[in-house]
Structure 1
Amino acid sequence: MHKSPFLEKTKTLPTDAAKEIHSTAISHRFETEELRRLAPKVVEQLAASGLFRMGLPKFLGGWEDDPVEVLKAYEELSSSEAAIGWSVWNNHLACTFGRYLDEESMREIYKDTSHVYANSARPEGVAEIVEGGYNVSGRWTLVSGCEISDWFVLRCLVTGEGLPSTLGPGAKLKLFFIPKEAIEIIDTWHVGGLKGTGSHDVKVENHFVKEAYAVDFDSPVAIDNAYSRLPIGCLNSAGCAAIALGILKAATDDLVKICLERVTPGKNPDLRDRDRIQSVVAKSITTLNALRGQLHKSVAGIWEESKKGNTYTDIQLADVWSASYEAGTNAKAMVSEIYAAAGTVSLYTENKIERAHRDIFAVLQHGIIQPHWMNQAGMAYLGLKPNGAMFRI
């Protein structure tokens, strides 16, 4: 059996593993920014920690326990470098998709503990049905971590055998597991926020994928446990929100640090003496604690139901969706307030506030945490049936 850091919960929690990476992340933050992907030393330490594999079953080195601990790990990682939290979160989704593989395929794709995984749930490719599997071609945008990844999970429109050849009613979509050898990376990631995630476009041309490596959300789950029964959609949203909270924590901690360091003798008031700064620091700390508490509470409720094998109600799912959206959007607003209150200090890249401001706006562009999901949650609260494609998955 693989000896994961997470096999013994009392030995190493995901949060503890994340804390051990903090100093490495800080010391390599400018390298990560310059490379536009995670610094090699960071990747090496993340792989060794098991954090890239949290979404897998325990026998493959996964966590398979309380998902709130995973959210805490995302927040801790993102407080040191948002690109790291984002990359680990993306790996979690790519590993979560593995629940739909048969056990033999799962063991093959996830057998190497040094491997990194990437994914795109956008149906930007086409998979033509052929004998024994599919012929896959396409170009996918925003594939985070593509340069450091060994396997890719890419979504395609399935064509052939009378199926529609375009997206729309009756279209059939599947996820395809594809090794890095079949992937062409196209250098498109020239951005400000989340620069270190390396979210370039990727291209595949006429690559054969066998039937066993093609799954969808209706495929059977090979390994049945409480963690593999967790809903993918709202938990992915909660993970995105946790990254935003980590960025808010980084900005708050940095502002406090700057205030304590810039204390000068004389009559002129220092940064910490300004009413606005004092108010913003207090508001930020309170906001962070409140948002974190609500997010964790909603996910803990889902976890309790999963352990019992119960079906989630729309209200329980709505609690996670709405807590995620509120955490993300309020964290973004608070970071902007910190950025404005700190004045010219916010302009300098040596301070985390500057990076936090860029990164959190990039995080909140993700489709999993848009206003649409608040509408869906509101429908549930009003006794209507939410119709979002990922609401119950």
Structure 2
Amino acid sequence: MSATTLLHPVPRDATPPADAPLPLEAVLAEVAARRTEFTTLRHVPRDMVAQFKRAGIYRAGTPRCFGGDAMAPADFLKIVARIAEVDGSAAWVASFGSANTYLAALPKATQALIYANGPDQVFAGALYPAQPAARQDGGWLVNGQWKFASGCMGAEWLGVGIGGGPGVKPVTAVFPAARVEIVEDWDVVGLEGTGSHDLRVSGQFVADDWTFQRGGAPIIDEPLYRYPAVCYQAQVHASVNLGLAQAALDIVNEMSGGKVTTTGAPRMADRSYFRIELAQAEAQYRGARAWFFDAIESVYAAILRGDDVTAAQASTLRLSATNAAQVAADVIRAAYRLGGMATIYSKHPLQRIVRDSMVVTQHAFLSSGVYDGAGAVLVGVPPFPGYP
């Protein structure tokens, strides 16, 4: 399925039924109208998540054997970037339509229970800090509190990290959302609407069949689940910054042809330094975006041919994602600087974009540590544990 197939066409004057497929453009219009609400609430509410479902976003990572679309990564990432052009928080929450790729590592019978009510299931989680769990017959007794559960307010299923330790990846324990307490402590500047609250679990038993290791071998044998899951999650976050950067460039370009400034200086479009820096920012952005999608499409094509993903290919996916996120943030700062004094007002759209983009670059999957791991792969020495 391509990205455009999510744009379910309907007549302009038609009102689709409440459960009918929804064109992506209609979703984008709703996001644009409500993005201030998302910031105020500090989460994207469930009725908006329901619209994402109607647009097919939360079945994009669901296996076809359970009625999902198992969409090619590049197609889904372009949708995330398009939403981010309108609002970063909404795109971040929508990006977890990819998170069901993690669930493909669960036993197939468990997955069948998750998708029993349909393929449009929202999974969110918080793995860290991983908490010790007491072993019991057939499972674990889970207690603890975890941070950064983006999108938890609209999720049907929530995962938390248990076990782990030095050099050992934690295991994710999956619960119905009703069995997990959401601690509403998301008080930040940037991506405020993602609802990345803490999760708390008190004395809840989880059976072994409801646990998996993030990035573990998938049970589902479909092409999407042979794509590196951790790399994919880094890429959905990077796509948010790509969309934000496109919006920033569009905004400052539109500003350039406006009226003469209050000081009587020429329009920005008439200033050579403005044109030069804008062109440089455009070139940086397009270069980073092109490599990002080229790496994704190259690896997925190899998977479709039946090839295994190599460590070098996975490292390139991580490196190109980090580069895309970081370059996009630089481009956004350049756009902010080129916008001049007008951009300092709190309600100027570039204010929100700058803040959101800085939060994206702080994510561990896109940190400067990725450069160390990628450099190690390039020179042929062992990277740090867990990379890529």
TM-score, normalised to structure 2, is: 0.88
Aligned residue in 2 for 1:12: 5
State which of 134, 139, 143 in structure 2 corresponds to 1:128.
134
Which whole-Å CA distance do the structure 2 matches of 1:281 and 1:19 have between them?
28
Provide closer, same or farther for how the CA distance between residues 172 and 67 of structure 1 changes in structure 2, counting only shifts above 3 A. closer
Q: Where does the alignment leave 5 or more consecutive residues of structure 1 unmatched?
A: 1-5, 159-166
Provide closer, same or farther for how the CA distance between residues 137 and 109 of structure 1 changes in structure 2, counting only shifts above 3 A. same
Aligned residue in 2 for 1:247: 244
Confirm whether residue 281 of structure 1 aligns to residue 278 of structure 2.
yes
Number of aligned positions between the proteins = 374
Provide closer, same or farther for how the CA distance between residues 10 and 358 of structure 1 changes in structure 2, counting only shifts above 3 A. closer
Write the deviation string for residues 15-70 of structure 1: whole angstroms up to 9, x where unpaired.
99544422111111111111111145432210211202321112434332421111
Aligned residue in 2 for 1:161: none
Aligned residue in 2 for 1:101: 106
1:207 maps to a residue whose letter is: Q
**SS where residue 85 of structure 2 aligns?**
helix
2:380 maps to a residue whose letter is: G
Which whole-Å CA distance do the structure 1 matches of 2:274 and 2:295 have between them?
32
Aligned residue in 2 for 1:303: 300
Aligned residue in 2 for 1:359: 356
Aligned residue in 2 for 1:206: 203
Deviation at 1:356, TM superposition (A): 0.6
- Contact between 1:277 and 1:342, CA under 8 Å: does it hold in 2? no
Which whole-Å CA distance do the structure 1 matches of 2:241 and 2:130 have between them?
27
Deviation at 1:235, TM superposition (A): 2.1
Write the deviation string for residues 121-148 of structure 1: whole angstroms up to 9, x where unpaired.
3243232211232111110011111222
Provide closer, same or farther for how the CA distance between residues 290 and 131 of structure 1 changes in structure 2, counting only shifts above 3 A. same
- Contact between 1:32 and 1:39, CA under 8 Å: does it hold in 2? yes
**SS where residue 204 of structure 2 aligns?**
strand
Higher mean Cα deviation, 271-280 or 351-360?
271-280
Write the deviation string for residues 183-228 of structure 1: whole angstroms up to 9, x where unpaired.
1111211111000001111100011112210122586522101111
Which whole-Å CA distance do the structure 2 matches of 1:264 and 1:375 have between them?
45
2:102 maps to a residue whose letter is: F
Aligned residue in 2 for 1:68: 74
- 1:48-197 equivalences under 5 Å are 48-93=54-99, 95-113=100-118, 115-157=121-163, 167-168=165-166, 173-197=170-194
2:295 maps to a residue whose letter is: S
- Contact between 1:28 and 1:42, CA under 8 Å: does it hold in 2? no
Higher mean Cα deviation, 317-326 or 366-375?
317-326
Aligned residue in 2 for 1:47: 53
Write the deviation string for residues 91-117 of structure 1: whole angstroms up to 9, x where unpaired.
422x11111112221121133345422
RMSD of aligned C-alpha atoms?
A: 2.5
